[in-house]
Copies of this chain bind each other. A is one copy, B any other.
C-alpha cells in the first residue's frame, strides 16, 4: 500500500518533467560540442557499392543488402578481416568505414587503414595488394586498373607501381614549386593534383611554380616558450604577379615525364583535366587571367603537343568552367559538357570534333552535379533544383533530352551510383525528415525503391523553435529571393524581440534550402532559444539561381547584395513582433564582408554586428576568386575603392565585433588588422577578437568558444 502511494507520487512528479522538452546547450548545437553528435547529427549508415550490390559498412562487419527486402547478410566480419591482415603482417583495422569494393566481379575489399592500404580477397582469405605509405605522404591517388599509387611528400610526386617499384617523379619540390598538388587555389573545380588515365598507365599531374608570388607572413606561435617565427605563405593578391601552372604526364612504364607544350603559362589557368576513354589524349579547359574567355583543348598524352582546340566560350563578365568533360561510357566519340551559356548550368552533348550535337537539358533551373551514367539504359544521372529552387533532387536524362525525377520528390538529396548506374543510394533529408536512406533503381520504376533507413530526429526531445521560409522581392523589384525566419523558442506574438540577420551572400553558396530544418544552423537555434528572431536571406549573387542572378554583383561585390539584404530588413521591420531598434547582423568570410559592409554602409539600420574572417578590401584577396568577380584593381579602381571597407571605417556607429583566425590562409589577417587601423584613424570603435593559430574557420572546441564569444556580444549589446 505504502509503496503504491509512493509510486503514484513519483509518477505525478516525474510525468510532467518527462513530458517537458529539454533546452539545448550550445554543445548540443555547434560542431565541436561535446554532445553535438549525440544531439544534433541524425544517426547514419555507411553504404558502399560492390558492382551493383549495396553493402552496409559497420564497425564490426560488412553486410550485403537485399535491394528488395532490405534484409542483410554478413559478407565479412572485422575479426575475419583482421586475421587476414595480421597474418600478412599488416596493422589490424578498427572498423569498415573507409572501405571500398573496387571490382564489381571480384570479392576484393580495399582497406584504408592509416598509412596502409590493402586489397583483401575475403573469399580466399588473403591479401592481393598492399602499400605502406611514408608517414609524411599525402594526396594518395590509386588506379584500380593498374594498381599504381601516386602520392606526394613535401611537395614532390612519387608513383609506386603494382610491382613495388617506386618512381621519383620530382625531387626539386618545395613550397614554391609543387608537384601533384591542387593548383589555382582550388578554384575552377580543382581539388586535387593527380589524374590517372582510365587504364592507369599514365598519370597527369599539376606542377605549380609560385616562386614569383608574394609571401604572406603567417605568424607561428606554436613552439611553447619560444620566440614567434613566420611561415611565409605564397599568396597572390589581386592585380599582382600570379603563379605559373604546368601539366605533366608521367609514364610509369618508361619512368619519363612529358609536360604539355602550352607555351608560357603566365596568367593562364589550366583547368578541368579529363582523359579520353582510350587514355591517350588529355583534355583541359584553358582560361585567360581575365576569366572571360576559355577553350577546350586536346593534347597528345605521349608527346605533350596540343592537337586542337575543340571550341571556345566567352562571357562579357566572366566564364567559370567547373566540371571536366565526361565521355559517354557507351560511345567514345561523344562527351557531356556543362555550361551556363544559356543563363543556367545545363548539359550539352558534343562530339570529339567539338560539334555541339544537342542541348540535353534546359529550363530556368540548374544542373548541380552529374553523378554518372546508367551504362545499360544509356542515361545520365544528375542532381538539379528543377523541382524547386530550394531542393536538390536526382534526375536522369536520356539522349533525347527526356528528364525523369528519380526517388523521393522533396528535400535535399545526395546520391551515389552503383557500378553500372542501375542503382543509387540516396542519403537525404527534408525540412521534416532528419535523414533517410533509400536504394533506388534508375532504369525503371521496377523494382521499386527501397526505404532502407530512417533516422530518428535527434531534436525530438528538445524544444525546437518554429522555422519558416518564404520569398520576397529583391531590390531589382522582380527577382524572388528566399528567406528563412526562425521565431524565438516559446514565441509570444504580442511581444517584441530583437532580430539577427545571418548572412553569407557570396557566390557558390546558399543558406536556405529544403534540407533538414530548412538548413537552419545550430547557432540560429541557440539564439532563438535565447530570445532572438533569426533571419537569413539568399541575396542575388548566391548559387543555384542562374548566371544573371549571380552576375548581378560583378565588379562591385557587396553593393547589390546589401540592397537585397535591406529588402529582408524591410520585411523584418514589417513584422509586429520585431523590435526594429534592435537589429543585429552576423556572417563569416564573405558574410563577414557583408556584415562589415552593412554596418558601415547602413549605420542607422543595425545596432550590433559580428563579422568573422571578413574580406575588408578586395585588393588583399587572391587572384583567382577575386579577379573573377572584381577584375583587377588596375582595371576596376572604382569598384575596388567603393567596396573597400577601409574607406567606410569612418561610418561605423553601432557595435561591431570583428573576429579573425590568427593564421587565416584564405582571407589573410591583414584584412581585419587593416580595418582596425582604418577605424582607429577614423575615430570609430570596432571590437576585435583573434584566434591565434586558427585558419579561416574555427573547428573543434575552438568553434564552441567562438560561438560563446559571438553569443555574448549580442547578449551584451543587443539584448
Contact = CB atoms under 8 A, between A and B. Distances in A.
Interface in A368-388: none
A29 interface: no
A620 B692 contact: no
B687 A689 contact: yes
A225 B673 contact: no
Given A221-B670, A227-B216, A228-B670, A712 B685 contact: yes
A717 to B, nearest CB: 8
A692 B215 CA distance: 19
Given A676-B691, A680-B705, A685-B709, A227 B670 contact: yes
Contact of A217 (B219, B619, B689): B219
Interface in A236-270: 237, 240
Contacts of A633: 225
A235 B668 CA distance: 25
Contacts of A705: 680, 683, 685
A690 B676 contact: yes
Contact of A673 (B219, B227, B676, B708): B219
11 contacts: A217-B228, A219-B219, A219-B673, A221-B670, A221-B674, A227-B620, A230-B230, A674-B692, A680-B692, A685-B709, A688-B688
A716 interface: yes
A351 interface: no
A693 B708 contact: no
Given A673-B662, A690-B673, A692-B673, A619 B225 contact: yes
Contacts of A709: 685
A707 B716 CA distance: 20
Contacts of A217: 217, 219, 228-230
A693 B670 contact: no
A214 interface: yes
Contact of A677 (B226, B681, B693, B704): B693
A364 interface: no
Contacts of A227: 214-216, 235, 237, 240, 620, 670
Contacts of A56: none
A33 to B, nearest CB: 12
A638 B680 CA distance: 40
A668 B228 contact: yes
A701 interface: yes
A683 B701 contact: yes
A524 interface: no
Interface in A312-365: none
A627 interface: no
Nearest to A617: B225
Interface string A691-719: 11100000001101100110010001000
Given A227-B620, A674-B221, A690-B688, A680 B668 contact: no
A680 B708 contact: no
Given A692-B674, A709-B685, A216 B240 contact: no
Given A687-B689, A690-B690, 6 more contacts: A216-B227, A217-B219, A219-B219, A221-B677, A676-B692, A688-B688
Interface of A: 214-217, 219, 221, 225-230, 235, 237, 240, 617, 619-620, 633, 662, 668, 670, 673-674, 676-677, 680-681, 683, 685, 687-693, 701-702, 704-705, 708-709, 712, 716
Residue from the set A217, A227, A662 with the largest chain B CB neighbour count within 10 Å: A227
A542 to B, nearest CB: 28
What is the oligomeric copy number?
2
A216 B237 contact: no
A2 B32 CA distance: 80
Contacts of A691: 676-677, 680
Question: Top 4 closest A-B pairs, CB basis?
Answer: A217-B230, A214-B227, A677-B692, A673-B692
Contacts of A704: 683
Contacts of A716: 716
Nearest to A213: B227
Nearest to A668: B228
Contacts of A680: 691-692, 702, 705
Nearest to A678: B692
A676 B221 CA distance: 11
A295 B228 CA distance: 36
A281 to B, nearest CB: 40
A237 B674 CA distance: 28
A693 B675 CA distance: 12
B708 A685 contact: yes
Nearest to A677: B692
Contacts of A692: 673-674, 676-677, 680
A281 B705 CA distance: 64
A238 B221 CA distance: 16
Contacts of A230: 217, 230
Residue from the set A619, A668, A690, A701 with the largest chain B CB neighbour count within 10 Å: A690
A492 B358 CA distance: 88
A662 B660 CA distance: 15
Nearest to A238: B225
A689 to B, nearest CB: 5
A412 to B, nearest CB: 33
A353 B712 CA distance: 70
A473 B691 CA distance: 42
A644 to B, nearest CB: 9
Nearest to A684: B705
A343 B102 CA distance: 84
A670 B225 CA distance: 10
Nearest to A706: B680
A355 to B, nearest CB: 46
Contacts of A216: 227-228
Contacts of A701: 681, 683
A640 to B, nearest CB: 8
Contacts of A683: 701, 704-705
A384 to B, nearest CB: 41
